[in-house]
Amino acid sequence: MTPQDVDEFFRRLAKARPDPRTELHFVNPYTLLVAVVLSAQATDAGVNKATAALFPVADTPQKMLALGEAGVRERIKTIGLFNTKAKNVIALSRRLIAEHGGAVPHTREALEALPGVGRKTANVVMNVAFGHATIAVDTHIFRVANRTGLAPGKTPLLVELELERVVSERWKRNAHHWLILHGRYTCIARKPRCEACIVADLCAYPAKTTAEPPSQPKAPARTAPPRRPKPRRAGRRR
Ligand code: SF4
């Protein structure tokens, strides 16, 4: 994609969604961090369902420790990998209290040092909670960036670095929201909705889908010929 195309790509996504936001529910940086940790290999809707029971009783690291690992596990058991995630949530809460006065740190290094927190989670928290122009590459962004030719790369890190390079400062702060939402609702994994895509003319994907051809009128159903009455068999005379 040329720099002009990249700019036009984001201009259109921005016009369609002027104020994109994460679909995860949270009430402060700490609950955002926990929600993102829980979202690994789970849907945002599934995480929101679980955190609706978790956050009212534990929206700070101190309250999460008071709830305990068993209490966390019980409330998130509908999410995949809930055992490991409950352990990580308790461990990261303990670290936040011990090393950061109970607050969520702003830097990538400090965030990535927390249990269960990788580069993607750190990028989301830095962007959404603290306003940094980071781009968190999840499965949707990885797919969209590669399919469209926007920022091809063999690993999420390579895609992230390429996006950092090609996306102008104007769009960077919201770029990952626009790309996630585009991937989640239009450029979907199994069958992208290219016929409804607002950036189709800029996209280099060679296997774009097209609108379904109008269905042919059905041939009238064949009716069975009327049945002829069976000839009556002569009965035996007595
Ligand atoms: S045209 Fe199709 S493949 Fe390209 S971005 Fe749009 S939905 Fe995705």
- Condensed to tens digits (0 to 9), the pLDDT of residues 89-99 reads 999 999 999 99
* 177-211 pLDDT per residue, tens: 999 999 999 999 999 999 999 999 999 999 888 76
* 113-130 pLDDT per residue, tens: 999 999 999 999 999 999
Cα of 24 vs centre of ligand 1, distance in Å, is 25
Q: Which atom of ligand 1 is nearest to the CA of 208?
A: 2
Fold of 29-128: Endonuclease III; domain 1 (1.10.340)
pTM of the predicted structure, to 2 decimals: 0.83
Cα of 116 vs centre of ligand 1, distance in Å, is 33
Active site residues: 120, 138
**Cβ < 6 Å from ligand 1: which residues?**
147-148, 186-187, 192-194, 197, 199-200, 203, 205, 208
Cα of 21 vs centre of ligand 1, distance in Å, is 21
Instruction: Give yes or no on whether 3-20+135-200 and 29-128 have one common fold.
Output: no
Domain residue spans of the chain? 3-20+135-200, 29-128
> What CATH code would you report for 3-20+135-200?
1.10.1670.10
The two structure tokens encoding residue 141: 């962004």
Name the amino acid, one letter, at 4.
Q
Asked if pLDDT for residue 236 goes beyond 50, the answer is no
Say if residue 231 is exposed, middle or buried (CB neighbours under 10 Å; 0-12, 13-18, 19+). exposed
Please answer whether residues 163 and 148 qualify as being in contact, where contact means their C-beta atoms are separated by less than 8 angstroms. Answer: no
